[in-house]
Structure 1
Amino acid sequence: MMMRRTLLAGAAFALIAGAAAAQEAQIDTRPGGPERVDLTIYQGNVTLVEDIRGLTIPAGRSRQEFPGVSASIRPETVSLAGRGLEVVEQNFDYDLLTPDKLMQSAVGQEIGLVRINPGTGREETQRATVLAANEGVVLRIGGNVEVLRDDGVPTRVIFDEVPANLRPRPTLSVTMDAEGAGRRDVTLTYLTSGLSWTADYVMRVDEQASTLDLLGWVTISNRSGATFTDAETRVVAGDVSAGGSYRGNGIAASDDQSLGDYYVYPLPERVTVANNQNKQVGLLDVSGVATTKRYRWETYGFSTQPQPQAVEVAYLFANGPINGQNRSLPAGTIRVYINDANGEPRFIGEDSISHTPAGSDLAITTGEAFDVTVQPRLVTEERVSTRIVDYFRTRRSVEYTLRNARPEPVTIEVRQGGLGRDTEIQAQSHPGVLEDSRTVVWKVQVPANGEVKLTATIETGG
């Protein structure tokens, strides 16, 4: 197999200079790709392609070819629309022209072998019949049966023609009936796999000004086997099942286009998405967005920790109007940079966001703060008697030591979860709020290079 592959790479490519050159005019005069193409790229490896071409069609029945369609097309989803046209039959030819396929198609036929005589340096041509092209190429040359081998002698293989079943690119052919002859626009619509998209964001924070700049990109990956040139492109937030129905959560309305319970994000300009290419296109670019920094520590249940616990750091901001329009944000990854003392950006972490409607508040978590900590301690715990059978209550006294080693004061949000039913806060050193039946929240300011003791007595049902 290695010998065959090496030979075909070095020899059979002579079709470019030989038989394929003779076919070049025929290939070039075929209809080209679409005059206009629109892409709607869903999440879930499904893309809707709308391929618009101007064709000169004779009256009655004729066969039209549509080269340049996606190699990953789902033929059963194809539809064709045009004035006075009726589709009779369609075929998708995806047997692509390759050296291997060309040699296999030549089985039983004659080819030309051109070699350079090592002694004279002259080219010598022989005619040979291809007997087989399985794990190697077997030839009959004169009265002998030989194996085409890589023996170090420069060899070219000449094919007389390109078989009609091999295509230089995937081609859809349609047999149609037309009412009257003439040129008309035809729209070919189909679903394909092989295209996908993701959203990525770069967030640059200026802590001195309490603002941030946000840059958003859509990255389109094309592995469909086709290049889509100058395509009007939109991406859709939400997964599509293999059967073509939607699944996932609905998204609220905004100035972006909507599609059922999903958002459609039109890209600002037409783009060319080449095969085997990742293309990045700008989605948004905003600056001077107000932001606040949040320090949060959260726990479930009550315990004593021998060491201080680092708190989570996040930047909060609102997804407000962008350039006068409400804009939802596709799910993606946000990478966060912060300006250092010289105003240069330094990477500090990343977080992911889900599909975010316009007007929503976002919290982008960048990691943990080593210089802001919380150390919890369970001081006492006792069961409180009750008259209700099989129902008891527990009273706990807790202490949280909040430390701040930063040169400026910070506010730490302490969240104590895992509470039982009918929770009562019987005493507390700082005002807290029962956010729900099982979570109490305190927001405590800690001075620069300082420490604060937060204490509470909490009674819960078992």
Structure 2
Amino acid sequence: MRIVLGLAAAAALFAGGALAAEPGKLSLTVYNSDLALVQDIRNLSIAAGRQRLEFKDVSARIRPETVSLVAADVGIVEQNFDYDLLTPEKLMEKAVGRQVQIVRINPGNGAQVTETATVLSVNGGVVLKIGDRIEVLRQDDVPTRVIFDGIPQNLRAKPTLSVTVDSGKAGARPATLSYLTNGLSWKADYVAMFDEGPGKLDLQGWVTLTNTSGVAYPDAAVQLVAGDVNLANNEQEFIQRRQMARNTSVRRAGVGGGPVETGPTSVADFYLYPLPGHTTVAENQTKQVSFLDAKGAAARKAYEYRAYWFETLQTPANADVAVQFSNASHAGLGRQLPAGIVRVYVRDQAGEPKFVGENRIDHTPQGSDISVKIGEAFDVTVQPTVVAQDAAGRTRSRYSMSYLVRNAKAQPVTVVIRQGGLWREGKVIEESLKSRRLDAYNLAWDVPVPANGETTLTFTVETGW
């Protein structure tokens, strides 16, 4: 077999594998962390005894150590993943030390001259030995072709997984090929249309699925996994994800009920979001699919100030403006929300939607209260002061705090003061307004402030371990 560089389709040069023509079933389970599980059921025609099966349309970013092939009366002896792809440059590299045919055409008279050359080097250019002379293959306007005697055995038109198996019988049978691959990931994005007057929110959720794995997945059943999977070789990223989760703007107020029938299902401590029907995930494609379209959920605008520790500020800080809602069933959503960015819009006087801010939420179980910061209120400020700090034991401290909340608006507002820095054994000693416990580390007070007025919140807490 002779190969003319640039003239033949490389894929057509390979012999077919053991795959039958009948299409199989393909499913993808895609995680947030550039990872997916591929499960491919194929009909294989397998002879008795030891043989090699080739799978040419697998991911180019497959993790070979995770490959599993399951078929009746078939045992795996050896498996190889060949990802050295057939390109003009690779053909020349593999030809070093071998002979090729150089065909040149004289642009003046059209005469064709063919010479036998030995490839000496391809470092920064192709160096040839033709007879007694050494020549560099030039990149100019002289038409030149290089003809090879064949394709090196380990060059492939596509990434190819080859599996040596030992079959106890001959015949066609279904086989399940499973493997993990990088290059597939997804993220969630939300569009929230907020109507402050009636306190209603329309929330639409979009999944953005990205495929850079080097292969297409036709007519696949796709499931998305919400949750952080711990990967042994990615410890630093895992730590960063957990840190982000601790700083999230979501308060888990208790999970109510189970997922709705058309919503996600759960496995282990993760939620699975199946995409409707089957879909084709093309190579180098970004695909968007709607997974949530809720109308008229209860919502409200709120002013917040978050204190992550006990501190004094010399100048007042602006309160955050947030849109708050719940994904509990009674509030109009009633389903889990995967992590993503919520972009909030409001309508102007002409009824046109205007973008007012965005923030990220973490994976949120059903029944949680969600607060999306959309900006800062320049006319609502908070100034914290540490009035006293005393030791309350060998490992405990007592903090007396004062929060001066000012409102320059022409209407009264309520500002939620969130105080962090408490340990599980933290407790309130005294307070000017009633607090509520958000979680093991945070307290909150609803502070009413009159129009063009101010309110001072005071409290004393004891914390430690």
Shorter chain as denominator, the TM-score bin is: 0.7 to 0.9
Shift of 1:186: 0.9
User: Which amino acid is 2:369 matched to?
Assistant: D
Matches within 5 A, 1:94-173: 94-173=83-162
The question of 1:16 aligning with 2:16 is answered no
Tell me which moved more, 330-339 or 271-280: 271-280
User: Which amino acid is 2:37 matched to?
Assistant: L
> In the aligned structure 2, how far is the partner of 1:242 from the partner of 1:457?
45
* Equivalent in the alignment of 1:8: none
Whether the 8 Å contact between 2:20 and 2:43 is mirrored in structure 1 is: no
* Equivalent in the alignment of 1:423: 429
- 1:219-263 Cα deviation digits (max 9, x unpaired): 223232222222211122223333499987999653422121121
Matches within 5 A, 1:189-200: 189-200=178-189
> In the aligned structure 1, how far is the partner of 2:389 from the partner of 2:100?
95
> In the aligned structure 1, how far is the partner of 2:332 from the partner of 2:199?
22
User: Which amino acid is 1:254 matched to?
Assistant: P
The question of 1:443 aligning with 2:431 is answered no
* Equivalent in the alignment of 1:46: 35
SS of the residue corresponding to residue 93 of structure 2 reads helix
The question of 1:81 aligning with 2:34 is answered no
Choose which of 400, 404, 412 in structure 1 pairs with 2:404: 400
Q: Tell me, which stretches of 5 or more residues in structure 2 are unaligned?
A: 246-251
* Equivalent in the alignment of 1:368: 376
* Equivalent in the alignment of 2:414: 411
* Equivalent in the alignment of 1:254: 259
Whether the 8 Å contact between 2:61 and 2:214 is mirrored in structure 1 is: yes
Number of residue-to-residue matches in the alignment: 432
Whether the 8 Å contact between 1:55 and 1:186 is mirrored in structure 2 is: yes
- 1:375-412 Cα deviation digits (max 9, x unpaired): 6789xx6999xxx9xx999988x683532425x54333
Root-mean-square deviation over aligned CA pairs: 4.0
* Equivalent in the alignment of 2:453: 452
Shift of 1:66: 0.9
Whether the 8 Å contact between 2:191 and 2:204 is mirrored in structure 1 is: yes
Q: Tell me, which stretches of 5 or more residues in structure 1 are unaligned?
A: 1-12
Classify 1:290/1:60 alpha carbon distance in 2 versus 1 (closer, same or farther; 3 Å).
Answer: same
Whether the 8 Å contact between 1:328 and 1:356 is mirrored in structure 2 is: yes
Choose which of 333, 336, 345 in structure 2 pairs with 1:328: 336
SS of the residue corresponding to residue 107 of structure 1 reads coil
Q: TM-score, normalised on structure 1? A: 0.79
Whether the 8 Å contact between 1:295 and 1:413 is mirrored in structure 2 is: yes
Shift of 1:204: 1.6
Q: TM-score, normalised on structure 2? A: 0.79
> In the aligned structure 2, how far is the partner of 1:74 from the partner of 1:341?
55
SS of the residue corresponding to residue 369 of structure 1 reads strand
> In the aligned structure 2, how far is the partner of 1:461 from the partner of 1:171?
64
Identity level (%): 46
Quick check: which has more Rg, 1 or 2?
1
* Equivalent in the alignment of 1:6: none
> In the aligned structure 1, how far is the partner of 2:372 from the partner of 2:182?
33
> In the aligned structure 2, how far is the partner of 1:99 from the partner of 1:322?
63
SS of the residue corresponding to residue 103 of structure 1 reads helix
Choose which of 303, 312, 316 in structure 1 pairs with 2:320: 312
Whether the 8 Å contact between 1:80 and 1:87 is mirrored in structure 2 is: yes
Choose which of 342, 352, 359 in structure 2 pairs with 1:351: 359
SS of the residue corresponding to residue 49 of structure 1 reads strand
Whether the 8 Å contact between 1:423 and 1:438 is mirrored in structure 2 is: no
- 1:327-381 Cα deviation digits (max 9, x unpaired): 2111111111111111211111111111111121211111112233346789xx6
Matches within 5 A, 1:140-289: 140-243=129-232, 254-255=259-260, 256-289=264-297
Tell me which moved more, 339-348 or 409-418: 409-418
Whether the 8 Å contact between 1:399 and 1:453 is mirrored in structure 2 is: no
Whether the 8 Å contact between 2:100 and 2:149 is mirrored in structure 1 is: yes
SS of the residue corresponding to residue 291 of structure 1 reads strand
User: Which amino acid is 1:16 matched to?
Assistant: G
Whether the 8 Å contact between 2:107 and 2:143 is mirrored in structure 1 is: no
User: Which amino acid is 2:298 matched to?
Assistant: A
Classify 1:240/1:433 alpha carbon distance in 2 versus 1 (closer, same or farther; 3 Å).
Answer: closer
Shift of 1:179: 3.4
Classify 1:183/1:344 alpha carbon distance in 2 versus 1 (closer, same or farther; 3 Å).
Answer: same
Classify 1:322/1:174 alpha carbon distance in 2 versus 1 (closer, same or farther; 3 Å).
Answer: farther
User: Which amino acid is 2:367 matched to?
Assistant: G
- 1:75-122 Cα deviation digits (max 9, x unpaired): 222111112222222222222111111112222333232333132244
Whether the 8 Å contact between 1:220 and 1:280 is mirrored in structure 2 is: yes
- 1:412-444 Cα deviation digits (max 9, x unpaired): 33457789976334xx5xx54475999672431
Tell me which moved more, 84-93 or 314-323: 314-323
* Equivalent in the alignment of 2:53: 64
SS of the residue corresponding to residue 92 of structure 2 reads helix
* Equivalent in the alignment of 1:10: none
User: Which amino acid is 1:160 matched to?
Assistant: D
Whether the 8 Å contact between 1:115 and 1:123 is mirrored in structure 2 is: yes
* Equivalent in the alignment of 2:249: none
> In the aligned structure 2, how far is the partner of 1:146 from the partner of 1:67?
38
Classify 1:150/1:364 alpha carbon distance in 2 versus 1 (closer, same or farther; 3 Å).
Answer: same
Classify 1:110/1:435 alpha carbon distance in 2 versus 1 (closer, same or farther; 3 Å).
Answer: closer
SS of the residue corresponding to residue 239 of structure 1 reads coil
